[in-house]
C-alpha cells in the first residue's frame, strides 16, 4: 500500500461521521455492546487504543459488529501494526510517525492516520505522500487556531484533530476547511460503560453524529 492509497482510504474513513470515538477498553465484555451502541448512534468508525491488555481481543470482537469500521490506535512499532492487522483492524492511528512504523503499515496494507504536531512533521509526512493526518495532541498544541494556521501554507493536508477534543469545542475544529473529522473519547465515558448504559452511549453518539462539518 502506498502512502497516497493509505490517505485515500483514511479520507473515506474520516468521511463516515464527524467523530471517530477514541476507545480505551478495560473489560472485554464491553467491546461488542459498545461497538453496537456507537454504530447504532451513527458513529461507525471506531478507534480502539492499544493501551490495555484486552485491546487486541476487543478489536476482534468489535470487527464482527455489522456496520462497524474498527481501527487500532496508539500504534508505535511494527509489532503493533502486525498485531492490529491480525486482530482485524481496518486502519491504524499513531500519536506520531516514524519511517519504521510507516514502512510496516505500508507493507501490511494497513491504512494509517499518522500523527503530527508541528508544521515540520506535517511536511515530512506530506513529502512521503500522506495527505490525511492526525493532529495530536490538538488542544495542547494550540487547538483550532493552531490547526487553522498550519492549514494556511499546507492546504493540501487534511486532519483528524484528537486530544482534548470535546462536544463543546468539536464544532470549532469541524468548521475548519482542513478538518475532516475529530477524534474524541467523550462519546464513550467510562462510567456509562461500567454501568452497561449502552442506550446512553447511543444517545451521545447520535448527538455527535449530528455535528455539522
Catalytic-residue membership of 134: yes
| C-alpha span between 184 and 164 (Å, rounded) | 8
| C-alpha span between 16 and 180 (Å, rounded) | 10
8: helix, coil or strand?
Answer: helix
Q: Choose, from 36, 47, 61, 106, the residue flagged as catalytic.
A: 47
| C-alpha span between 73 and 122 (Å, rounded) | 19
- H/E run at residue 191: helix 190-195
Nine cell digits for residue 145: 487556531
CA angle 202, 207, 209 (to 5 degrees): 90
Q: Choose, from 36, 61, 106, 134, the residue flagged as catalytic.
A: 134
Catalytic residues: 47, 134
Amino acid at each position: 500500500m502506498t502512502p497516497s492509497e493509505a490517505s485515500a482510504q483514511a479520507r473515506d474513513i474520516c468521511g463516515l461521521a464527524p467523530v471517530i470515538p477514541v476507545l480505551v477498553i478495560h473489560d472485554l465484555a464491553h467491546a461488542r455492546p459498545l461497538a453496537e451502541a456507537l454504530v447504532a448512534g451513527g458513529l461507525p468508525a471506531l478507534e480502539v487504543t492499544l493501551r490495555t491488555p484486552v485491546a487486541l481481543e476487543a478489536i476482534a470482537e468489535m470487527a464482527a459488529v455489522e456496520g462497524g469500521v474498527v481501527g487500532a490506535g496508539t500504534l508505535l512499532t511494527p509489532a503493533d501494526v502486525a498485531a492490529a492487522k491480525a486482530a482485524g483492524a481496518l486502519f491504524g492511528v499513531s500519536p506520531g510517525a516514524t519511517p519504521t512504523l510507516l514502512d510496516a503499515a505500508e507493507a501490511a496494507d494497513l491504512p494509517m492516520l499518522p500523527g503530527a504536531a508541528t508544521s515540520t512533521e506535517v511536511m515530512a509526512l506530506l513529502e512521503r505522500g500522506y495527505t490525511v493526518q492526525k493532529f495530536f495532541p490538538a488542544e495542547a498544541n494550540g487547538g483550532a487556531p493552531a490547526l487553522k494556521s498550519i492549514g494556511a501554507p499546507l492546504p493540501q493536508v487534511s486532519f483528524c484533530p484528537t486530544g482534548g477534543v470535546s462536544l463543546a469545542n468539536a464544532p470549532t475544529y469541524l468548521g475548519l476547511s482542513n478538518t475532516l473529522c475529530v477524534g474524541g473519547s467523550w462519546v464513550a465515558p467510562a462510567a456509562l460503560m461500567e454501568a452497561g448504559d449502552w442506550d446512553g452511549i447511543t444517545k451521545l453518539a447520535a448527538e455527535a453524529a449530528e455535528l455539522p462539518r
